[in-house]
Amino acid sequence: MARRPPYRRFVHRHRRRCPSRLAETALVVFILYLVLRKKPKKPLELTPKDVDELIAEWRPQPLVPALTREEKLLLERETVVESFVSATQLKVALGRG
């Protein structure tokens, strides 16, 4: 049988002697991890003036690229539903131009 690393031998022997101790040990290790880990930094607090400046500077990016000349021509020839009254009554406009 291959030799286990020391920590695995310790856990194996300890688990056989007292199974509840393994759970307690895991809980203590977890609590130590929570206590000793790095705390997250507080978010930057913005004043109302800063918020107003950021909003004034913001320019939205277009969601889709601008239509090409060919796409505009194709779009003018498409059927467009202007309103929906019911499943049998549609107000349709043929072409926009």
Q: Average pLDDT of the chain?
A: 80
Q: How far apart are the first and last CA of the chain?
A: 86
State mean pLDDT over 27-36. Answer: 91
User: Which of 75, 31, 82 lies closest to 23 in space, CA to CA?
Assistant: 31
- Residue 56 in this model has a pLDDT that exceeds 60: yes
* Residue 93 covered by a domain: yes
* Residue 79 covered by a domain: yes
Q: From residue 64, how far is each of 7, 61, 68 by CA, in Å? A: 58, 9, 12
* Residue 74 covered by a domain: yes
* Residue 52 covered by a domain: no
* Residue 41 covered by a domain: no
* Residue 91 covered by a domain: yes
Would you place residue 63 in the very low, low, confident or very high pLDDT band (cuts 50, 70, 90)?
Answer: very high
State mean pLDDT over 16-22. Answer: 70
* Residue 60 covered by a domain: no
pTM of the model: 0.30
Calpha distance 97→73 (Å, rounded): 10
Residue type, 92: V
* Residue 76 covered by a domain: yes
- Total domains in the chain come to 2
- Residue 2 in this model has a pLDDT that exceeds 70: no
| Contact in structure between 96 and 80 (CB atoms under 8 Å) | yes
CB atoms within 10 A of CB 25: 14
**Residue 95 structure tokens:** 């072409």
Range of the domain at 15: 6-36
